[in-house]
Structure 1
Amino acid sequence: MNPKSGFMLYLMANSKMRVAVAGTNTLALMISHAIVTETSHSLVILSRQAQPNLTSQGYQVLVVDYNDQNSIQHAVTGVDTVISTVTGLPELRLLEACVAQRVRRFAPAEFEGRPSARPSNDPLDRGKKTILDWLDYYKSSVDLESTVFVCGVLYERFGPGGLAAHRLGLNTSLCNEGDYIINCRTMEANAPVYNANNQANVYVCMIGVQDAARFITRALDLARWPREMTMAAERMTVNEIIDTVVRVRGTPLTSETWHSPATLRHELQLAEMFNDIPRQMRAHDHLATINGRYVFSAPGNLRNSAITRDIVPVRFETWLRSVWAGHVHVTEP
Structure 2
Amino acid sequence: MMRIAVAGGRGFGFLLATELAQAANAYNVVVLSRSARPEFDQFDVQVHVVDYHDHNSLGYALQGVDLVISTISGTEQLNLIDASGRGRVRMFVPSEFEGPLSRRPSRNDPLDRGSSQALALLKQWSESSRMKYTIFSCGLFMERFHPYGIINTFGIGHGSGVGGPGEFLVNSTTATAEYPEQDSKGHSVRVCLTSVYDVVRYIVAAVDLGPSHWPREFTMYGDRMKVRDLITTYSTACNAVFTRHVQQPAELEALLTYYAQLCDYDKVAYYQRLLATANGRYDFSQATLNEAVNRSNSVNVQPVTFGAWLTSIWQAF
- Normalised by the length of structure 2, the TM-score is 0.93
- The correspondence for 1:195, drawn from 172, 178, 183, is 183
SS in 1 for 2:288: coil
More helix by share: 2
Query: 2: CA distance between counterparts of 1:238 and 1:224?
Result: 34
- 2:146 corresponds to which letter in structure 1? G
Query: 1: CA distance between counterparts of 2:315 and 2:171?
Result: 15
Cα offset for 1:170? Answer: 0.7
Extract unaligned runs of 5+ from structure 1.
1-15, 328-333
Q: Given that residues 6 and 31 in structure 2 are in contact (C-alpha distance below 8 angstroms), is that contact kept between their aligned partners in structure 1?
A: yes
The equivalent residue for 2:86 is 100
The equivalent residue for 1:130 is 117
Cα offset for 1:212? Answer: 0.7
Question: Which structure ranks higher in relative contact order (CA pairs < 8 Å, sequence separation ≥ 6)?
Answer: 1
1:210 aligns with 2:188: no
Cα offset for 1:273? Answer: 1.9
- 1:242 corresponds to which letter in structure 2? I
The equivalent residue for 1:63 is 49
Cα offset for 1:241? Answer: 0.3
- The correspondence for 1:310, drawn from 275, 292, 300, is 300
Query: 1: CA distance between counterparts of 2:182 and 2:102?
Result: 22
1:145 aligns with 2:110: no
Residues 185-244 of structure 1: per-residue CA shift (max 9 Å, x gap): 432101122211345x10111110001101111212323221110001111000010000
1:32 aligns with 2:17: yes
1:317–1:43 distance in 2 versus 1, CA, 3 Å:
same
The equivalent residue for 1:265 is 253
The equivalent residue for 2:271 is 283
The equivalent residue for 2:312 is 322
Query: 1: CA distance between counterparts of 2:173 and 2:311?
Result: 13
1:188–1:309 distance in 2 versus 1, CA, 3 Å:
farther
The equivalent residue for 1:7 is none
SS in 1 for 2:184: coil
- The correspondence for 2:72, drawn from 70, 86, 89, is 86
Aligned-pair RMSD on alpha carbons?
1.5
Cα offset for 1:99? Answer: 1.1
Query: 2: CA distance between counterparts of 1:198 and 1:67?
Result: 48
* Runs ≥4 residues deviating over 4 A: none
Q: Given that residues 25 and 167 in structure 1 are in contact (C-alpha distance below 8 angstroms), is that contact kept between their aligned partners in structure 2?
A: yes
Cα offset for 1:161? Answer: 2.5
Extract unaligned runs of 5+ from structure 2.
none
Q: Given that residues 32 and 43 in structure 1 are in contact (C-alpha distance below 8 angstroms), is that contact kept between their aligned partners in structure 2?
A: yes
SS in 2 for 1:303: helix
SS in 1 for 2:244: strand
* Farther-moved stretch of structure 1 (53-62 vs 66-75): 53-62
Q: Given that residues 32 and 50 in structure 2 are in contact (C-alpha distance below 8 angstroms), is that contact kept between their aligned partners in structure 1?
A: yes
Cα offset for 1:326? Answer: 4.6
- 2:250 corresponds to which letter in structure 1? A
Cα offset for 1:169? Answer: 2.0
1:315–1:230 distance in 2 versus 1, CA, 3 Å:
same
Q: How does 1:233-272 map to 2 (within 5 A)?
A: 233-253=222-242, 255-272=243-260
SS in 2 for 1:245: helix
Q: Given that residues 190 and 259 in structure 1 are in contact (C-alpha distance below 8 angstroms), is that contact kept between their aligned partners in structure 2?
A: yes
- 2:306 corresponds to which letter in structure 1? F
Residues 114-159 of structure 1: per-residue CA shift (max 9 Å, x gap): 1222112110001100111111111111021111100001101100
Query: 1: CA distance between counterparts of 2:10 and 2:282?
Result: 22
Cα offset for 1:28? Answer: 1.4
Query: 2: CA distance between counterparts of 1:34 and 1:66?
Result: 24
Cα offset for 1:57? Answer: 4.2
- 1:264 corresponds to which letter in structure 2? L
Residues 143-182 of structure 1: per-residue CA shift (max 9 Å, x gap): 2111110000110110032221211121122221111110
- 1:131 corresponds to which letter in structure 2? A
* Farther-moved stretch of structure 1 (304-313 vs 39-48): 304-313
The equivalent residue for 1:45 is 31
1:294–1:309 distance in 2 versus 1, CA, 3 Å:
farther
Q: Given that residues 173 and 277 in structure 1 are in contact (C-alpha distance below 8 angstroms), is that contact kept between their aligned partners in structure 2?
A: no
Q: Given that residues 17 and 41 in structure 1 are in contact (C-alpha distance below 8 angstroms), is that contact kept between their aligned partners in structure 2?
A: yes
The equivalent residue for 2:97 is 111
Aligned residues with identical type, % of pairs: 36
1:175 aligns with 2:163: yes
